[in-house]
A and B are shown apart, each in its own frame.
Chain A
Amino acid sequence: MLPEMTYEEISNKAKSEWEALQSGVYILIGTATCGRAAGALDVLDALGKELARRELEVPIIKVGCTGLCHADPFVAISKPGSLRVAYANVTPETVSRLVEGYVAGDDPCLELALGTLEVGAGEGISVPELPRFEREVRLILRHCGYIDPENINHYIANGGYGGLKKALEMSPEKIIKELKKSGLRGRGGAGFPTHRKWEVCRGAGARQKYVMCNADEGDPGAFMDRVVLESDPHQVIEGMIIAGYVIGAEQGYIYVRSEYPLAIERTQIALEQARELGFLGHHILGADFGFDIEIAAGAGAFVSGEETALIAAVEGKMSTPRPRPPYPAESGLWGKPTLLNNVKTFGYVPLIVERGGDWFASIGTEESKGTAMFTLAGKVANSGLAEVPMGTTLRELVYDIGGGIAKDKQFKAVQIGGPSGGCLPESLLNIPIDYDSLREAGSMMGSGGMIIMDEDNCMVDAARFFLDFSTKESCGKCTVCRLGTLQMLRILEDITAGRGKIENIDLLLALAEDVKIGSLCGLGRTAPNPVLTTLRYFREEYEAHIVEKRCPARVCPELTVYYILPEKCDRACEHCILTCPTEAIKGEKGEVKMIDQEKCSKCGTCLEVCPPEYNAVVKLSPVSLLPSSDLSGERAKK
Chain B
Amino acid sequence: MLSNLKDSLESVEGMITEGQSDRALAEILGHYKKDKKNLIPLLQEVQTKLGYLPRKALQEIADFLKISDVEVWGVATFYNQFRFVPLGKYHSVVCMGTACHLAGGRLILEALERELNLKVGETADDGSFSLERVACIGCCMLAPVVVIKDKIHPKMTPFRVEEALIPYKQESRGKLKEGKSGSQS
A and B associate:
yes
A1 to chain B, nearest CB (A): 24
Contacts of B164 in A (CB 8 A): none
B:126-171 near A, CB below 8 Å:
134-143, 145, 152, 154, 157-159, 162
Interface residue stretch chosen among B16-24, B93-101, B173-181: B93-101
Are B98's CB and A318's CB within 8 A?
A: no
Chain B proximity mask over A293-334: 1 for CB below 8 Å, otherwise 0: 000111111100000000001111111000000000000000
Binds B, one of A139-147, A270-278, A479-487, A601-609: A601-609
A581–B111 touching, CB < 8 Å: yes
CB distance from B130 to the nearest CB of A (A): 17
Candidates B80, B103, B152, B157; contact of A301 at CB < 8 Å:
B80
Which residues of B are found within 8 Å of A564, using beta-carbon distances?
none
Looking at the assembled complex, report how far the CB atom of B73 sits from the nearest CB atom of chain A, in whole angstroms: 11
Shortest CB–CB separation between residue B9 and chain A, in angstroms?
24
For A260, the chain B residues whose CB sits under 8 A away are 138
Find the residue from B43, B80, B96, B104 having the highest chain A CB count within 10 A. B80
Contact between chains at A258 and B98 (CB < 8 Å): no
- Which residue of chain B has its CB nearest to the CB of A36? B152
A313 near B154 (CB under 8 angstroms)? no
Give residues 367-383 of A contacting B (CB, 8 Å): 375, 377-379, 383
- Which A residues, 397 to 427, have Cβ-Cβ distances below 8 Å to chain B? 415, 418
Residues of A within 8 A of B137 (CB): 33, 259
Contact of A581 among B44, B145, B158 (CB under 8 A): B158
Whether A34 and B102, one on each chain, are in contact in the complex, defined by CB atoms closer than 8 angstroms, is: no
Q: How far is the CA of A316 from the CA of B115 in the complex (A)?
A: 39
Docked-complex contact B138 and A603, CB < 8 angstroms: no
Given A319-B79, A469-B135, is A221 in contact with B140 using a C-beta cutoff of 8 Å? yes
Contact A383 B140 (CB under 8 A): yes
Verify A415–B98 contact, CB threshold 8 A.
Answer: yes
Q: Which residue of A lies closest to B138 (CB)?
A: A223
Residue of A nearest to B136 (CB): A220
Interface segment among A172-180, A233-241, A449-457: the answer is A449-457
Which chain A residues numbered 34 to 55 have a C-beta less than 8 Å away from chain B? 34, 36-38
Q: Residue on B with the closest CB to A462?
A: B102
Q: Which residues in chain A, 456-491, are within 8 Å of chain B measured between CB atoms?
A: 457, 462, 465-466, 469, 473, 475
A608 → chain B closest CB, angstroms: 5
Contact in complex: B36, A603 (CB < 8 Å): no
Are A37 and B98 also in contact (CB < 8 A) when A299-B40, A317-B75, A318-B78 are? no
Please name the residue on chain A nearest to B95 by beta carbon.
Answer: A220
| A-chain residues with CB within 8 Å of residue B38 when the two chains form the complex | 316
Interface string of A59-72 (1 = CB under 8 A from B): 00000000001101
Interface residue? B81 (CB, 8 A):
yes
The reply to whether the CB of B37 lies closer than 8 angstroms to some CB of chain A is yes
Interface pair B44/A299, CB less than 8 Å apart: yes
Query: Do B152 and A37 touch across chains, with their CB atoms under 8 A apart?
Result: yes
| A604 & B138 in contact (Cβ 8 Å cutoff) | no
Determine how close the nearest CB of chain A comes to the CB of B21; give it in whole angstroms. Answer: 21
Indicate whether A384 reaches chain B with its CB closer than 8 angstroms: yes
Q: Give chain B's interface secondary structure class.
A: helix
Determine which of A69, A377, A579 lies in contact with B98 in the assembled complex, contact meaning CB atoms within 8 Å: A377
Query: Quick check: is B64 within 8 A (CB to CB) of the other chain?
Result: no
Q: How many residues of B contact A (CB 8 A)?
A: 45
Bin chain A's interface residue count. Answer: 35 or more
Most A Cβ at <10 Å: residue of B43, B96, B139: B139
Identity of the chain B residue whose Cβ is nearest the Cβ of A230 in the assembled complex: B138
Answer yes or no: A226 CB below 8 A from chain B CBs.
yes
Whether B124 is near chain A, meaning CB under 8 Å from some CB there, is: no
Given A38-B154, A69-B141; A316-B79 close (CB under 8 Å): no
Contact B79 A300 (CB under 8 A): yes
Q: Which residues of B contact A301 (CB under 8 A)?
A: 78-80
User: Using an 8 Å CB-CB cutoff, how does the interface string of B66-98 with A read, 1 for contact, 0 for none?
Assistant: 000000001100111110000000000000111
Least CB distance from A416 to B in Å reads 11
Q: B43 to A70, Cβ gap below 8 A?
A: no
- Interface status of A522 (Cβ within 8 A of chain B): no
The residue in B135, B141, B162 that gathers the most chain A C-beta atoms within 10 A of its C-beta is B141
> Is A218 interfacial (CB-CB < 8 Å)?
yes
Residues of B close to A469: CB separation below 8 A: 135
Distance between Cα atoms of A213 and B103 in the complex (Å): 33
Known contacts A581-B158, A581-B162; decide if A220 and B98 are in contact (CB<8 Å): yes
Interface status of B125 (Cβ within 8 A of chain A): no
Asked, given contacts A316-B40, A318-B74, A451-B99, whether A609 binds B159 with beta carbons under 8 Å apart, the answer is yes
Check if B14 is an interface residue, CB within 8 A of chain A.
Answer: no
A184 to B137 CA separation, bound complex (whole angstroms): 30
CB of B114 within 8 A of chain A?
yes
What A residues does B104 contact at CB under 8 A?
Answer: 604
In whole angstroms, what is the CA distance A457 to B111 when docked? Answer: 20
What sequence of 0s and 1s flags, for each residue 108-120 of chain B, a beta carbon within 8 Å of any chain A beta carbon?
0011001100000
The reply to whether the CB of B39 lies closer than 8 angstroms to some CB of chain A is yes
Closest residue to B142 on the A side, CB-wise? A37
Residue contact B110 to A377, C-beta cutoff 8 Å: no
Answer yes or no: B30 CB below 8 A from chain A CBs.
Answer: no
B41 at the interface (CB under 8 A from A): yes
Asked whether any CB of chain A lies closer than 8 Å to the CB of B28, the reply is: no
* Nearest-CB residue, chain A, relative to B153: A37
CB pair B102 A379 closer than 8 Å: yes
Identify A300's interface contact among B36, B81, B157, B162, CB under 8 A.
B81
B147: nearest chain-A partner, CB-CB: A37
Q: Assuming the A-B contacts A378-B98, A603-B107, are A223 and B135 also in contact, with contact meaning beta carbons closer than 8 angstroms in the complex?
A: no
When distances are taken between beta carbons in the complex, the residues of chain B under 8 Å from A581 are 111, 114-115, 158, 162
Give the CA-CA distance A260 to B135 in the complex, in Å: 13
A453 vs B99: C-alpha distance when bound (angstroms): 9
Q: A603 near B102 (CB under 8 angstroms)? A: no
A603 touches B79 (CB 8 A): no
Q: A379-B102, A604-B104 are in contact. Are A299 and B80 (CB under 8 A)?
A: yes
Contact of A316 among B75, B97, B107, B142 (CB under 8 A): B75
In the bound complex, do residue B98 and residue A221 qualify as a contact, i.e. CB atoms below 8 Å apart?
A: yes
Among A299, A465, A604, which residue has its beta carbon within 8 angstroms of that of B158? A604
The answer to whether A33 touches B140 (Cβ under 8 A) is no
Nearest 7 A-B pairs (CB), nearest first? A377-B140, A220-B136, A300-B80, A299-B79, A220-B97, A383-B141, A221-B98
Query: 23 A-B residue contacts at CB 8 Å?
Result: A37-B142, A37-B154, A38-B142, A69-B141, A259-B134, A299-B43, A299-B79, A299-B81, A301-B79, A318-B78, A319-B78, A377-B143, A378-B99, A379-B102, A383-B141, A384-B141, A451-B140, A469-B135, A475-B78, A581-B162, A603-B114, A605-B157, A608-B158
Residues of B within 8 A of A (CB): 36-41, 43-44, 74-75, 78-82, 96-99, 101-104, 107, 110-111, 114-115, 134-143, 145, 152, 154, 157-159, 162
Given contacts A378-B102, A449-B98, A465-B98, 20 further A-B contacts (CB under 8 A): A72-B141, A220-B96, A220-B98, A220-B99, A221-B99, A221-B140, A259-B137, A260-B138, A299-B43, A301-B80, A316-B37, A316-B39, A377-B98, A378-B143, A383-B141, A453-B102, A465-B101, A581-B158, A608-B158, A609-B159
A residues with a Cβ closer than 8 A to B are 33-34, 36-38, 69-70, 72, 217-221, 223, 226, 258-260, 296-302, 313-319, 375, 377-379, 383-384, 415, 418, 449, 451, 453, 457, 462, 465-466, 469, 473, 475, 579, 581, 601, 603-605, 608-609
